């Protein structure tokens, strides 16, 4: 008995330490459904990060390295059309999420995603890729608003930023694990096989969602008219300004990883190097998410947006001057810290602005604005990249754009400071 006493003391102290840590981080008191949903999000992130970060490299890469050799402007066009397809489906899918429920929309998205993901392994023509990626974008639009709304449904407003931060961190663990796996597979076996692995993990997430997750749609959600019930949201001036500014942020941020995958090849690195760089970015998210999130909660979301935007601009300037692996690593770190600050804060900001009965539509419209920002960038940045003799200048152009966006966030800060009546829960 005496020999077992130190073990019991250690276990008790460890349990108390973990409880204090989870309480300080804001993760205590969450339902098991939150943790299960976040874990399923991890599986989904892991599967997608094995394959889709390498899509631009697959399309534009040299044929002797397993790529298809498409012109960079065609790659940008594929990414743009796919992004637009997803973006303009969002207002409808957000309304469907509020009308029919979160779980059914996620299941309706994941099942066809499995088949479409496998399809990437078999198509090789430009038009085939264009149609496949656009269809996948529409199907993905069913998933994201429902997933974000379910997370918001399951927690109180004061814990939403913590939970979105936890989800973001766990998703980046999947991202961190999947990218080097995908890079090593692509280096040894080619790009097309990556999509089989991605489909396996999406299948696992689908099964888990069907068996373990309950519907979370609030009871007070009334019948939703798919079109007309979106229009009143546009009278929320703070929400619309944030969406507009967020779209501009995504214009700067969204092409970073797809362009970086091509740029690292331009600098002479093997595909696995991009995977390791991106994996390290995921590790930074895991290591710094909790302390950074605690800081952003104290200063408030609008100040956090200003800091994040500054870091995005600085990160791209770092990419412009980087030529070695350590220099690229510094640029990734700066960009990633901005990412850690911006994305969880933006989801929580919108979820707390939205009445419960309109949560899916608010999050979907945020996705619409962000999607327009991201979709319009892909073709532009890849076309400019193709024209530049010195490819590093593209990062300087995008960094300058990043700094030019800052005044809009200062305006948002002033508006929210004047308007203290932002609803926390309805």
Written as one string, the DSSP assignment of 283-296 is HHHHHHHHHHHHHH
* DSSP3 helix / strand / coil % (the chain, rounded to 5): 85, 0, 15
Domain edges within the chain: 30-418
At residue 67, the 3 state secondary structure works out as coil
Contact status, residue 369 vs residue 346, Cβ threshold 8 Å: no
Which of 247, 243, 241, 244 has its CA nearest to residue 377? 247
Question: Quick one: pLDDT band at residue 21, thresholds 50, 70, 90?
Answer: very low
Contact status, residue 80 vs residue 357, Cβ threshold 8 Å: no
CA atoms of 177 and 92, how far apart (whole Å): 33
- Structure-model confidence comparison of residues 333 and 256, the more confident one: 333
CA atoms of 262 and 271, how far apart (whole Å): 9
pLDDT of 228 higher than 80:
no
CA atoms of 227 and 337, how far apart (whole Å): 37
At residue 56, the 3 state secondary structure works out as helix
Model pLDDT for residues 161-180, shown as the tens digit of each residue: 778 878 878 887 887 788 78
Kindly report the CA angle at 239 between 36 and 418, in degrees rounded to 5? 120
- Structure-model confidence comparison of residues 107 and 165, the more confident one: 107
- Segment 25-34 shows an average pLDDT of 70
pLDDT at 114: 95
Backbone angles phi, psi at 141, to 5 degrees: -65, -20
At residue 420, the 3 state secondary structure works out as coil
CA atoms of 119 and 113, how far apart (whole Å): 10
CA atoms of 25 and 21, how far apart (whole Å): 6
pLDDT at 196: 93
pLDDT at 320: 92
- Structure-model confidence comparison of residues 356 and 277, the more confident one: 277
Model pLDDT for residues 293-321, shown as the tens digit of each residue: 778 878 888 899 999 999 999 999 999 99
- Segment 372-400 shows an average pLDDT of 82
CA atoms of 121 and 116, how far apart (whole Å): 10
pLDDT at 13: 53
CA atoms of 195 and 122, how far apart (whole Å): 10
The set of residues, in sequence order, having a beta carbon less than 8 Å from that of 353 and lying 6+ positions away, is 236, 238, 239, 362, 422, 423
Helix axes 301-321, 237-253, angle to 10 degrees: 20
Whether the model pTM is above 0.75 = no
The set of residues, in sequence order, having a beta carbon less than 8 Å from that of 70 and lying 6+ positions away, is 59, 60, 78, 126
pLDDT at 327: 92
Model pLDDT for residues 347-373, shown as the tens digit of each residue: 888 888 887 777 777 887 888 788 777
Q: Tokens for 388, please give them.
A: 């530049």
Which of 293, 306, 312 has its CA nearest to residue 416? 306
Model pLDDT for residues 32-68, shown as the tens digit of each residue: 899 899 999 999 999 988 998 888 878 877 665 567 8
pLDDT at 207: 95
Percentage of the chain surpassing pLDDT 90? 27
The top-level CATH class assigned to 30-418 is mainly alpha
- Cα 415 off chain centre by: 27
What's the N-to-C CA distance of the chain in angstroms?
55
The set of residues, in sequence order, having a beta carbon less than 8 Å from that of 208 and lying 6+ positions away, is 36, 39, 40, 43
pLDDT at 185: 87
DSSP state of 61: S
pLDDT at 42: 92
pLDDT of 16 higher than 60:
no
Question: Quick one: pLDDT band at residue 213, thresholds 50, 70, 90?
Answer: very high
pLDDT of 28 higher than 80:
no
Contact status, residue 369 vs residue 349, Cβ threshold 8 Å: no
DSSP state of 125: S
- Segment 101-117 shows an average pLDDT of 93
């Amino acid at each position: 008995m005496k020999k077992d006493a130190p073990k019991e003391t250690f276990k008790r102290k460890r349990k108390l330490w973990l409880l204090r840590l989870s309480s300080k981080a804001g993760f205590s008191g969450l339902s098991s459904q939150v943790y299960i949903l976040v874990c399923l999000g991890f599986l989904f992130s892991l599967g997608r990060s094995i394959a889709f970060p390498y899509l631009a490299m697959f399309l534009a890469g040299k044929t002797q390295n397993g790529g298809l050799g498409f012109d960079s402007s065609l790659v940008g066009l594929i990414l743009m059309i796919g992004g637009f397809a997803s973006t303009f489906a969002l207002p409808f899918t957000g309304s469907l999420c509020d009308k029919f429920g979160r779980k059914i929309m996620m299941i309706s998205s994941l099942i066809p995603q499995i088949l479409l993901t496998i399809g990437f392994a078999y198509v090789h023509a430009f038009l085939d890729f264009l149609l496949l990626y656009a269809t996948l974008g529409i199907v993905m639009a069913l998933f994201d608003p429902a997933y974000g709304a379910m997370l918001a449904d399951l927690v109180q407003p004061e814990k939403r930023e913590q939970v979105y931060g936890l989800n973001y961190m766990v998703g980046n663990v999947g991202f961190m694990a999947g990218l080097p796996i995908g890079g090593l597979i692509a280096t040894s076996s080619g790009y097309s096989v990556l999509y089989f692995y991605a489909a396996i993990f999406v299948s696992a997430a689908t099964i888990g969602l069907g068996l373990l997750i309950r519907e979370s749609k609030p009871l007070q959600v009334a019948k939703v008219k798919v079109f007309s019930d979106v229009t009143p949201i546009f009278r929320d001036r703070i929400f619309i300004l944030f969406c507009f500014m967020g779209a501009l942020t995504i214009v700067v941020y969204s092409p970073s990883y797809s362009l970086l995958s091509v740029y690292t090849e331009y600098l002479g690195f093997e595909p696995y190097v991009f995977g390791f760089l991106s994996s390290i970015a995921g590790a930074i998210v895991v290591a710094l998410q909790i302390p950074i999130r605690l800081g952003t909660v104290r200063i408030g979301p609008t100040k956090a947006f200003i800091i994040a935007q500054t870091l995005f601009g600085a990160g791209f300037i770092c990419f412009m001057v980087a030529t070695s692996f350590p220099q690229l690593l510094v640029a990734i770190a700066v960009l990633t810290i901005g990412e850690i600050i911006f994305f969880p804060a933006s989801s929580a900001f919108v979820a707390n602005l939205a009445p419960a009965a309109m949560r899916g539509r608010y999050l979907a419209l945020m996705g619409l604005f962000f999607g327009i920002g991201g979709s319009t960038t892909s073709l532009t940045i890849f076309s400019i990249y193709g024209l530049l003799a010195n490819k590093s200048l593209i990062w300087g152009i995008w960094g300058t754009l990043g700094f030019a966006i800052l005044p809009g966030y200062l305006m948002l800060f002033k508006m929210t400071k004047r308007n203290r009546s932002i609803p926390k829960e309805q």
